Amino acid sequence: MHRPVQRVGRAPRLTRILVSAAAVPVMLVAGGCSSDSGSADDAKKSAGSSPDAKASVSASADAVQPAAYAKLPEPCSMLSKKTLGELVPKGVKSGKEGKSDDVSTRGNCYWNSLDNNGVKGSQFRWLNVAQLRFESDSRGEGNQQAHTYFEKQVTGARSVTGAKNTKSEPVSGTGDEATAVTYDLKKKEGSFKQQTIVARVENVVVTLDYNGAGLAGEKTPNAADLLKAAEKAAKEAVAAVSAANEDGGAGASASPSRSATASKSASPSKSASPSKNAPKSASPSASASKKS
Protein backbone atom coordinates (compact mmCIF):
# COMPACT_ATOMS: atom_id res chain seq x y z
CA MET A 1 0.00 0.00 0.00
CA HIS A 2 2.86 2.39 0.69
CA ARG A 3 4.91 1.74 -2.55
CA PRO A 4 2.52 3.53 -4.97
CA VAL A 5 2.54 6.51 -2.68
CA GLN A 6 6.34 6.76 -2.77
CA ARG A 7 6.45 6.67 -6.62
CA VAL A 8 3.86 9.40 -6.88
CA GLY A 9 5.76 11.56 -4.37
CA ARG A 10 9.03 11.48 -6.45
CA ALA A 11 7.46 12.67 -9.67
CA PRO A 12 7.36 16.43 -8.79
CA ARG A 13 11.05 16.51 -7.91
CA LEU A 14 11.98 14.95 -11.27
CA THR A 15 9.80 17.44 -13.06
CA ARG A 16 11.54 20.40 -11.35
CA ILE A 17 14.97 18.99 -12.26
CA LEU A 18 14.00 18.59 -15.95
CA VAL A 19 12.58 22.10 -16.11
CA SER A 20 15.67 23.55 -14.48
CA ALA A 21 17.99 21.64 -16.83
CA ALA A 22 16.01 22.82 -19.88
CA ALA A 23 16.46 26.45 -18.82
CA VAL A 24 20.25 26.25 -18.90
CA PRO A 25 20.64 26.11 -22.71
CA VAL A 26 18.29 29.07 -23.06
CA MET A 27 20.50 31.19 -20.85
CA LEU A 28 23.62 30.11 -22.74
CA VAL A 29 22.06 31.01 -26.06
CA ALA A 30 21.11 34.42 -24.77
CA GLY A 31 24.64 34.94 -23.43
CA GLY A 32 26.08 33.89 -26.81
CA CYS A 33 24.07 36.54 -28.66
CA SER A 34 25.32 39.22 -26.31
CA SER A 35 28.93 38.10 -26.81
CA ASP A 36 28.63 38.20 -30.63
CA SER A 37 27.29 41.77 -30.55
CA GLY A 38 30.25 42.95 -28.46
CA SER A 39 32.72 41.31 -30.80
CA ALA A 40 31.19 43.09 -33.79
CA ASP A 41 31.51 46.49 -32.07
CA ASP A 42 35.10 45.76 -31.14
CA ALA A 43 35.86 44.77 -34.73
CA LYS A 44 34.46 48.07 -36.01
CA LYS A 45 36.51 50.05 -33.51
CA SER A 46 39.62 48.06 -34.41
CA ALA A 47 39.08 48.69 -38.13
CA GLY A 48 38.61 52.39 -37.51
CA SER A 49 41.88 52.64 -35.65
CA SER A 50 43.93 50.47 -38.01
CA PRO A 51 47.20 51.92 -39.41
CA ASP A 52 45.76 52.06 -42.95
CA ALA A 53 42.69 53.98 -41.79
CA LYS A 54 44.79 56.43 -39.79
CA ALA A 55 47.16 56.94 -42.72
CA SER A 56 44.24 57.68 -45.02
CA VAL A 57 42.82 60.30 -42.66
CA SER A 58 46.27 61.83 -42.12
CA ALA A 59 47.01 62.01 -45.84
CA SER A 60 43.70 63.74 -46.47
CA ALA A 61 44.37 66.30 -43.74
CA ASP A 62 47.93 66.97 -44.92
CA ALA A 63 47.06 67.39 -48.61
CA VAL A 64 47.98 70.87 -49.90
CA GLN A 65 45.92 72.87 -52.35
CA PRO A 66 47.43 73.45 -55.80
CA ALA A 67 48.99 76.88 -56.34
CA ALA A 68 46.63 79.41 -57.92
CA TYR A 69 49.08 80.74 -60.52
CA ALA A 70 51.10 78.46 -62.79
CA LYS A 71 52.72 81.08 -65.04
CA LEU A 72 54.63 84.35 -65.06
CA PRO A 73 54.59 87.14 -67.66
CA GLU A 74 57.77 88.04 -69.52
CA PRO A 75 59.66 90.34 -67.12
CA CYS A 76 60.41 93.12 -69.61
CA SER A 77 56.77 93.21 -70.75
CA MET A 78 55.20 93.71 -67.32
CA LEU A 79 55.10 97.51 -67.63
CA SER A 80 53.61 99.59 -70.44
CA LYS A 81 55.68 102.05 -72.46
CA LYS A 82 53.64 104.87 -70.94
CA THR A 83 54.53 103.82 -67.40
CA LEU A 84 58.17 103.31 -68.31
CA GLY A 85 58.18 106.78 -69.87
CA GLU A 86 57.17 108.22 -66.51
CA LEU A 87 59.71 106.28 -64.44
CA VAL A 88 62.70 106.07 -66.79
CA PRO A 89 62.03 108.75 -69.44
CA LYS A 90 65.46 108.40 -71.07
CA GLY A 91 65.63 104.65 -70.81
CA VAL A 92 62.36 103.17 -72.07
CA LYS A 93 64.25 100.92 -74.49
CA SER A 94 67.05 100.09 -72.06
CA GLY A 95 65.25 97.14 -70.46
CA LYS A 96 67.39 94.07 -69.91
CA GLU A 97 66.15 90.73 -68.65
CA GLY A 98 68.09 89.15 -65.80
CA LYS A 99 69.39 85.60 -65.98
CA SER A 100 67.27 82.75 -64.62
CA ASP A 101 67.50 78.98 -64.58
CA ASP A 102 63.70 78.67 -64.70
CA VAL A 103 61.72 81.52 -66.23
CA SER A 104 58.44 79.90 -65.16
CA THR A 105 59.23 80.49 -61.48
CA ARG A 106 61.53 83.55 -61.38
CA GLY A 107 62.59 86.48 -63.48
CA ASN A 108 63.37 90.20 -63.51
CA CYS A 109 63.96 93.13 -65.83
CA TYR A 110 65.77 96.41 -65.18
CA TRP A 111 66.00 99.82 -66.83
CA ASN A 112 68.15 102.93 -66.28
CA SER A 113 67.69 106.51 -67.41
CA LEU A 114 70.22 109.37 -67.49
CA ASP A 115 68.92 112.82 -68.43
CA ASN A 116 72.05 114.88 -69.05
CA ASN A 117 71.58 118.61 -68.52
CA GLY A 118 75.15 119.60 -69.29
CA VAL A 119 76.84 121.83 -66.71
CA LYS A 120 73.71 121.68 -64.56
CA GLY A 121 74.21 117.97 -63.96
CA SER A 122 72.01 114.97 -64.67
CA GLN A 123 68.89 113.28 -63.41
CA PHE A 124 69.38 109.57 -62.93
CA ARG A 125 66.67 106.90 -62.56
CA TRP A 126 66.95 103.15 -62.08
CA LEU A 127 64.13 100.59 -62.06
CA ASN A 128 64.06 96.86 -61.41
CA VAL A 129 61.01 94.58 -61.32
CA ALA A 130 61.48 91.03 -60.02
CA GLN A 131 58.91 88.24 -59.73
CA LEU A 132 59.05 84.93 -57.89
CA ARG A 133 56.42 82.18 -58.05
CA PHE A 134 55.92 79.42 -55.46
CA GLU A 135 54.53 75.94 -56.08
CA SER A 136 52.49 73.99 -53.53
CA ASP A 137 54.70 71.16 -52.30
CA SER A 138 55.87 69.36 -49.18
CA ARG A 139 56.81 72.74 -47.64
CA GLY A 140 53.19 73.90 -47.80
CA GLU A 141 50.76 75.75 -50.03
CA GLY A 142 52.16 78.18 -52.58
CA ASN A 143 50.20 81.11 -51.14
CA GLN A 144 51.61 80.59 -47.66
CA GLN A 145 55.16 80.21 -48.93
CA ALA A 146 54.72 83.42 -50.93
CA HIS A 147 53.43 85.23 -47.84
CA THR A 148 56.49 84.14 -45.85
CA TYR A 149 58.80 85.35 -48.62
CA PHE A 150 56.84 88.60 -48.85
CA GLU A 151 57.55 89.31 -45.18
CA LYS A 152 61.25 88.51 -45.64
CA GLN A 153 61.45 90.94 -48.57
CA VAL A 154 59.86 93.73 -46.55
CA THR A 155 62.19 93.08 -43.63
CA GLY A 156 65.17 93.13 -45.98
CA ALA A 157 64.13 96.45 -47.49
CA ARG A 158 63.81 97.98 -44.03
CA SER A 159 67.31 96.94 -42.99
CA VAL A 160 69.55 98.07 -45.86
CA THR A 161 73.02 99.05 -44.67
CA GLY A 162 73.55 102.81 -44.71
CA ALA A 163 69.89 103.66 -45.24
CA LYS A 164 68.57 106.84 -43.61
CA ASN A 165 65.05 108.04 -42.87
CA THR A 166 63.58 104.58 -43.50
CA LYS A 167 59.78 104.49 -43.62
CA SER A 168 57.24 101.86 -44.57
CA GLU A 169 53.51 101.84 -45.23
CA PRO A 170 50.91 99.51 -46.74
CA VAL A 171 49.91 99.97 -50.37
CA SER A 172 46.22 99.48 -51.15
CA GLY A 173 44.79 97.97 -54.31
CA THR A 174 47.97 96.06 -55.15
CA GLY A 175 47.49 92.31 -55.04
CA ASP A 176 46.59 90.50 -51.82
CA GLU A 177 49.10 92.47 -49.74
CA ALA A 178 51.70 95.13 -50.49
CA THR A 179 54.13 97.32 -48.57
CA ALA A 180 56.20 100.31 -49.65
CA VAL A 181 59.57 100.98 -48.03
CA THR A 182 61.40 104.26 -48.66
CA TYR A 183 64.77 105.55 -47.52
CA ASP A 184 67.69 107.82 -48.42
CA LEU A 185 71.06 106.43 -49.43
CA LYS A 186 74.15 108.61 -49.65
CA LYS A 187 76.77 107.57 -52.21
CA LYS A 188 79.77 109.30 -53.72
CA GLU A 189 77.77 109.99 -56.91
CA GLY A 190 74.99 111.73 -55.00
CA SER A 191 72.02 111.31 -52.69
CA PHE A 192 69.65 108.57 -53.84
CA LYS A 193 65.97 108.32 -53.00
CA GLN A 194 64.99 104.66 -52.86
CA GLN A 195 61.47 103.26 -53.22
CA THR A 196 60.92 99.52 -52.75
CA ILE A 197 57.46 98.03 -53.12
CA VAL A 198 56.87 94.38 -52.27
CA ALA A 199 53.54 92.91 -53.34
CA ARG A 200 52.01 89.45 -53.20
CA VAL A 201 49.24 88.22 -55.47
CA GLU A 202 48.24 84.62 -54.74
CA ASN A 203 51.47 82.53 -54.89
CA VAL A 204 53.59 85.17 -56.66
CA VAL A 205 55.69 87.92 -55.07
CA VAL A 206 56.61 91.02 -57.08
CA THR A 207 59.42 93.27 -55.82
CA LEU A 208 59.83 96.67 -57.48
CA ASP A 209 62.93 98.77 -56.76
CA TYR A 210 63.00 102.33 -58.05
CA ASN A 211 65.49 105.02 -57.19
CA GLY A 212 66.50 108.44 -58.41
CA ALA A 213 69.27 110.94 -57.83
CA GLY A 214 70.45 114.33 -58.96
CA LEU A 215 74.07 114.01 -60.15
CA ALA A 216 76.85 116.54 -60.71
CA GLY A 217 74.97 119.43 -59.14
CA GLU A 218 71.42 118.56 -60.25
CA LYS A 219 68.85 118.73 -57.47
CA THR A 220 67.68 115.60 -55.67
CA PRO A 221 64.31 114.34 -56.97
CA ASN A 222 61.19 114.59 -54.84
CA ALA A 223 60.71 111.35 -52.89
CA ALA A 224 56.91 111.65 -52.87
CA ASP A 225 56.83 111.88 -56.67
CA LEU A 226 59.08 108.84 -56.99
CA LEU A 227 56.90 106.84 -54.60
CA LYS A 228 53.72 107.72 -56.45
CA ALA A 229 55.26 106.57 -59.73
CA ALA A 230 56.58 103.37 -58.12
CA GLU A 231 53.18 102.48 -56.67
CA LYS A 232 51.56 102.90 -60.07
CA ALA A 233 54.17 100.63 -61.65
CA ALA A 234 53.75 98.01 -58.91
CA LYS A 235 49.99 97.85 -59.48
CA GLU A 236 50.62 97.37 -63.19
CA ALA A 237 53.18 94.62 -62.58
CA VAL A 238 50.80 92.73 -60.28
CA ALA A 239 48.02 93.06 -62.85
CA ALA A 240 50.38 91.58 -65.47
CA VAL A 241 50.89 88.49 -63.30
CA SER A 242 47.14 87.99 -62.93
CA ALA A 243 46.58 88.55 -66.66
CA ALA A 244 49.20 85.92 -67.52
CA ASN A 245 47.09 83.34 -65.71
CA GLU A 246 43.67 84.27 -67.07
CA ASP A 247 42.19 81.63 -69.38
CA GLY A 248 45.33 79.58 -68.95
CA GLY A 249 47.54 82.59 -69.51
CA ALA A 250 47.59 82.08 -73.28
CA GLY A 251 50.29 84.15 -74.90
CA ALA A 252 51.54 85.55 -71.62
CA SER A 253 53.58 82.70 -70.23
CA ALA A 254 57.27 82.21 -70.73
CA SER A 255 57.92 80.93 -74.22
CA PRO A 256 59.85 77.64 -74.78
CA SER A 257 62.63 79.56 -76.50
CA ARG A 258 63.21 81.69 -73.41
CA SER A 259 63.29 78.57 -71.23
CA ALA A 260 65.70 76.84 -73.56
CA THR A 261 68.11 79.76 -73.66
CA ALA A 262 67.91 80.64 -69.96
CA SER A 263 71.30 80.52 -68.31
CA LYS A 264 72.29 79.33 -64.85
CA SER A 265 70.41 80.68 -61.88
CA ALA A 266 71.23 84.18 -60.73
CA SER A 267 69.48 86.14 -58.02
CA PRO A 268 67.61 89.31 -59.07
CA SER A 269 69.99 91.37 -56.97
CA LYS A 270 72.97 90.12 -58.96
CA SER A 271 71.42 90.04 -62.41
CA ALA A 272 69.76 93.40 -61.94
CA SER A 273 72.96 95.37 -61.70
CA PRO A 274 72.96 98.67 -63.63
CA SER A 275 74.85 99.18 -66.84
CA LYS A 276 78.49 100.23 -66.87
CA ASN A 277 77.52 103.85 -67.51
CA ALA A 278 75.15 104.01 -64.55
CA PRO A 279 76.25 104.90 -61.01
CA LYS A 280 77.12 101.88 -58.86
CA SER A 281 74.76 103.15 -56.18
CA ALA A 282 71.85 102.37 -58.44
CA SER A 283 71.98 98.71 -57.46
CA PRO A 284 68.73 97.20 -56.12
CA SER A 285 68.02 96.95 -52.44
CA ALA A 286 68.34 93.77 -50.41
CA SER A 287 64.65 93.17 -51.00
CA ALA A 288 65.36 91.96 -54.52
CA SER A 289 67.27 88.94 -53.25
CA LYS A 290 66.83 85.40 -54.48
CA LYS A 291 64.35 82.96 -52.96
CA SER A 292 65.92 81.20 -50.02
Per-residue pLDDT tens over the stretch 164-214? 999 999 999 999 999 999 999 999 888 999 999 999 999 999 999 999 999
Instruction: Check whether 60 has a pLDDT greater than 90.
Output: no
Question: What is the distance between the alpha carbons of residues 285 and 288, in angstroms, rounded to a whole number?
Answer: 6
Residue with the larger pLDDT of the pair 17 and 207: 207
Share the mean pLDDT of the chain.
77
pLDDT at 236 over 60: yes
Distance CA 256, CA 241 (A): 18
pLDDT band at residue 262, thresholds of 50, 70 and 90? very low
Mean per-residue pLDDT for 229-258? 75
Q: Which residue has the higher pLDDT, 119 or 40?
A: 119
Q: Tell me the pLDDT band of 282, cut-offs 50, 70 and 90.
A: very low
User: What pLDDT, on the 0 to 100 scale, is given for residue 50?
Assistant: 58
Q: Give the DSSP per-residue string, 88-126.
A: -TT-GGG-EEPP-S-TTTEEEEEEEEEEE-GGG-EEEEE
Side chain identity at 150, as an amino acid letter?
F
Q: Quick one: what percent of the chain has pLDDT higher than 90?
A: 59
Work out the percent of the chain whose per-residue pLDDT is above 70: 63
**pTM score, two decimals?**
0.69
pLDDT band at 273 (very low <50, low <70, confident <90, very high): very low
For 13, 103, 125, 135, the CA distances from 139, given in Å and listed in that order, are 83, 21, 39, 9
Q: What is the per-residue pLDDT for 49? A: 54
Q: The dihedral of CA 186, 189, 190, 193: what is its sign?
A: negative
Strands across the sheet containing 177-187: 96-97, 106-116, 122-133, 204-215, 190-201, 177-187, 164-170
pLDDT of 59 above 80 = no
Give the phi and the psi of residue 82 in degrees, each rounded to 5.
-65, -45
Say what the pLDDT of residue 188 is.
87
- The predicted pLDDT at position 284 comes to 42
Q: What local confidence, expressed as pLDDT, does residue 248 receive?
A: 54
CA distance 240 to 30: 76
